[in-house]
Chain A
């Protein structure tokens, strides 16, 4: 169950890491909200990733 929730959170976190800089590049978002979203996504990624990623 946790794995099922963690996986989409992880993908969303990765999206939250790359989408804001992309929007910033096209001048549709300011620097501060971009950095804020990336930081939240960073925390979300490190919470979610260990719950579903394989570590062979």
Chain B
């Protein structure tokens, strides 16, 4: 999965991107491939094994889910992005008002911190092989495993935060250079595992042992892979990137990230745990930390890969969380806001609960942020035909559109209730929550929304 697409330059943030600044498709293919081969992929593949996912779920479920994600990027996000050519924030400001955007920023910033915290956790597991006495977290760990673990997370987190405070240009470059190499390291881990098990039957290897409880179904895998980046596609965060695309076909570039990172890399990472379960007798529900598994398979190269994969994705996330916090208090220097974000990330990273519950967390992340995208979809495609104003906050001059707030929070509140008290798998929630949000926005706009002129043409 990914933290967020990179900043496409701090340009045209409050205006349409002009034609001269548009980019061809090649810029997007490389970006998506790099962004979605992250440190967290080392967690997600083994977590599927831990949850007893079947071979058919992994091979076909991921295929279908990722395909749906690519189509969502192409036909929803990229279509709106290339027609509006505005950032998510500027478009939201036009619909919701600048003060409501601050609430979104706060939610975004906090969730970014937890995501970056997970990446710190993954990177810190690479320290384990150098300190054999240090107890590494397992899938069941929620609390820090000891002073050594806390120290590892703090050192890595502080280093990441210091770099993020300087901007993330250098780290973004390292991430770009590392992308093809990192992908090959994932493949290498799988090849080594196949060789060690002397079994090339992927179907058989990915099938859980008889009696393993299946905690994630075929549909669960489809929805997880479709919505693990819900905030980016249906949530429209990638408007900020794809607004630079010459054609909406740039949305197809997300296939590079989905099928290399969220398909091949996840399956390769899953095989690592399969080996540890079959050969070392590790309990799949307990799992094994990525650092130990990768070091065992491909040595120091794997440890470097775990650190770089975590680092290059955590850094922009910390940077963006800092920007989100700065958006709430514009007078705060960016270094201070990044430092605050870094401190929250480190605190989250120390507690393995977030990384070890990544399958649930990314669903929550999408459920909270994606519904805002539904409001943009309604505003862009249906406002005129439904007789509701487009860009209502801009038209009325309001800085806080309560219609948007209610349409966003009511379905999210219901979704959180279902997640918390009825154990609904979090990845099932972003789609119905977003649809409910869009419908509620239409109803509320017609009933209590600002009465404005309906544009005769877009």
CB < 8 Å: which of A25, A26, A39, A56 contacts B301? A39
Is the beta-carbon distance between A35 and B195 smaller than 8 angstroms? no
Measured as residues with beta carbon below 8 angstroms from the partner, the interface class of chain B is: 20 to 34
Query: Cβ of B304 < 8 Å from any Cβ of A?
Result: yes
Given contacts A38-B301, A39-B300, A42-B301, contact A21 B176 (CB under 8 A): no
Query: Cβ of A5 < 8 Å from any Cβ of B?
Result: no
Given contacts A18-B187, A21-B192, A56-B27, contact A35 B177 (CB under 8 A): no
Q: B27 — which chain A residues lie within 8 A by C-beta? A: 56
In the assembled complex, how far is the CB of residue B161 from the closest CB belonging to chain A, in whole angstroms? 23
Chain A residues numbered 15-43 whose CB sits less than 8 Å from any CB in chain B: 17-18, 20-22, 24-27, 31, 34-36, 38-39, 41-42
Measured as residues with beta carbon below 8 angstroms from the partner, the interface class of chain A is: 20 to 34
A46 to B187, CA, bound (A): 18
Other than the given A18-B191, A21-B187, A41-B301, 17 more pairs (CB < 8 A) read A13-B181, A20-B188, A21-B189, A21-B191, A21-B192, A21-B298, A24-B192, A35-B301, A38-B185, A39-B299, A39-B301, A42-B300, A45-B181, A46-B181, A49-B181, A50-B173, A53-B177
Chain B interface SS verdict (over half): helix
Per-position binary interface string of chain B over residues 174-200, scored 1 when its CB falls under 8 Å from any chain A CB and 0 otherwise: 001110110011011101101100101
A15 to B400, CA, bound (A): 56
Query: Can you report 7 residue pairs joining A to B where beta carbons are below 8 Å apart?
Result: A21-B195, A24-B192, A25-B195, A35-B301, A36-B299, A38-B185, A49-B177
Chain B residues numbered 267-323 whose CB sits less than 8 Å from any CB in chain A: 298-301, 304
CB < 8 Å: which of B23, B194, B195, B299 contacts A38? B299
Is the beta-carbon distance between B184 and A17 smaller than 8 angstroms? yes
Is the beta-carbon distance between A17 and B181 smaller than 8 angstroms? yes
Is the beta-carbon distance between B177 and A50 smaller than 8 angstroms? yes
CB < 8 Å: which of B180, B194, B298 contacts A14? B180
A38 to B304, CA, bound (A): 11
A45 to B191, CA, bound (A): 20
Is the beta-carbon distance between A14 and B192 smaller than 8 angstroms? no
Chain B residues numbered 68-99 whose CB sits less than 8 Å from any CB in chain A: none
Given contacts A35-B301, A38-B299, contact A18 B184 (CB under 8 A): yes
Q: A53 — which chain B residues lie within 8 A by C-beta? A: 176-177
Query: Cβ of B148 < 8 Å from any Cβ of A?
Result: no
Query: Cβ of B208 < 8 Å from any Cβ of A?
Result: no
Chain B CB within 10 A, most for which of A14, A18, A38: A38
Q: A36 — which chain B residues lie within 8 A by C-beta? A: 299
A14 to B181, CA, bound (A): 6
Query: Cβ of B449 < 8 Å from any Cβ of A?
Result: no
Of all chain B residues, which has the CB nearest A45?
A: B181
In the assembled complex, how far is the CB of residue B9 from the closest CB belonging to chain A, in whole angstroms? 11
In the assembled complex, how far is the CB of residue B242 from the closest CB belonging to chain A, in whole angstroms? 15
Q: A50 — which chain B residues lie within 8 A by C-beta? A: 173, 177
A20 to B180, CA, bound (A): 17
Query: Cβ of B30 < 8 Å from any Cβ of A?
Result: yes
Q: B298 — which chain A residues lie within 8 A by C-beta? A: 21, 34-35, 38
Q: B23 — which chain A residues lie within 8 A by C-beta? A: 56
Is the beta-carbon distance between B173 and A17 smaller than 8 angstroms? no
A-B pairs with lowest CB-CB distance, top 10: A35-B299, A25-B195, A21-B188, A21-B191, A49-B177, A38-B301, A25-B191, A17-B184, A42-B301, A18-B184
Q: A35 — which chain B residues lie within 8 A by C-beta? A: 298-301
A35 to B195, CA, bound (A): 14
Of all chain B residues, which has the CB nearest A15?
A: B184
A43 to B188, CA, bound (A): 16
Q: A24 — which chain B residues lie within 8 A by C-beta? A: 191-192, 195
Q: A21 — which chain B residues lie within 8 A by C-beta? A: 187-189, 191-192, 195, 298
A26 to B23, CA, bound (A): 44
Is the beta-carbon distance between B301 and A17 smaller than 8 angstroms? yes
CB < 8 Å: which of B172, B188, B200 contacts A17? B188
Is the beta-carbon distance between B195 and A56 smaller than 8 angstroms? no
Is the beta-carbon distance between A14 and B304 smaller than 8 angstroms? no
Is the beta-carbon distance between A34 and B192 smaller than 8 angstroms? yes
Q: A31 — which chain B residues lie within 8 A by C-beta? A: 192
Is the beta-carbon distance between A14 and B184 smaller than 8 angstroms? yes
Is the beta-carbon distance between B185 and A17 smaller than 8 angstroms? yes
Q: A13 — which chain B residues lie within 8 A by C-beta? A: 181
Is the beta-carbon distance between A22 and B191 smaller than 8 angstroms? yes
Is the beta-carbon distance between A18 and B180 smaller than 8 angstroms? no
Q: B178 — which chain A residues lie within 8 A by C-beta? A: 46
A49 to B175, CA, bound (A): 11
In the assembled complex, how far is the CB of residue B383 from the closest CB belonging to chain A, in whole angstroms? 35
A22 to B190, CA, bound (A): 10
Chain B residues numbered 7-34 whose CB sits less than 8 Å from any CB in chain A: 23, 26-27, 30
